[in-house]
Amino acid sequence: MTSECQFEFPQIKEKKIPNEVHVGDLFLLKCSGLDPEKDWSQASLKLGAQDDFKLSLEKNLIFEGDQADYLVTTYKVGENKLEQALLETPDGGQVLLPESTFVVPSLVEKKDKIMSFQYVASDYGAWVWMALIALGFLVLCVFGFLIKLGSSRSKLRKYLLDFDSPKTPFQSYLFEHRRLMKGGQKPEVEIQNLLRAQKIYFSREFNMILDETQQVKYFKALKKTFQNKHPQFLKIFNNYMKEYQVVSEMIGQSKDMAFKQEEYKGLLQLSLDLVTQMQSLRDKK
């Protein structure tokens, strides 16, 4: 059986010139009677010097027995006459392409609308619906974010109402510090009172919700806030946190009340130094 190939050009609306294509347009090269022992899926084009850019193999499509289909295109403007073109495989298969003439208009000319076998007509309505769905989803996300933001702010306002005072956060802390200096309770209890005084200061000064009864979460929340929003406070806070953990552990393990009282007073001073330094930095802003 003789091997032969032929070109199949796309259907062009209002076509004025036979076999007219544009630069980059795809059309078919259909071959039959091929040697089935050869690997036509790996075929490539071999063009003569006069045929450069007239034809380019873009994609291997179908291979069934002795038949193969390829997508090809052209990158040369003008009237192209294909004279010496071969389709060949790495394992020695060859077939001579037919002499063909096709016209490629200039790129500056208006391109006709092509309805080709390789293109699927776009569904404008489907794109509109997809855009509307995406827009609706975006609106819902924004709406949900605003609701969550409003809820968080409302929760924060209600939380801060419990600590409302005509005094500034710093003045309120100094008042509590003087009261804590008088003592009167076990150091373990006084440490919790100290954390509560700190919590009220930090909550009012930095607009955040804190729970001093869960110390790990309490210190973690403060560290995250300073790290992300107020990095100038991070170093002094980390130093205080380390000292607090050491002193509170020593107080918890010791049975010497005098020692506990002394360590607690030292912790009070550390807390006062922390708040005073932070307030000083904020007042400079």
In whole angstroms, what is the distance from residue 104 CA to residue 285 CA?
A: 70
* 54-98 pLDDT tens trace: 788 888 777 887 888 888 888 888 787 877 788 888 888 888 888
* 43-52 pLDDT tens trace: 888 887 777 7
**Domain extents for the chain?**
4-119, 122-161, 164-284
- Say whether pLDDT at 252 is over 60: yes
- Say whether pLDDT at 15 is over 60: no
4-119 folds as: Immunoglobulin-like (2.60.40)
CA distances from 45 to 4, 29, 31, 95, 103 (A): 15, 11, 13, 10, 20
Report which secondary-structure segment, H or E, holds 147.
helix 124-161
In whole angstroms, what is the distance from residue 5 CA to residue 184 CA?
A: 104
* 220-239 pLDDT tens trace: 988 998 888 888 888 888 88
Q: What pLDDT shows up at residue 117?
A: 47
CA distances from 116 to 28, 108, 225 (A): 10, 21, 60
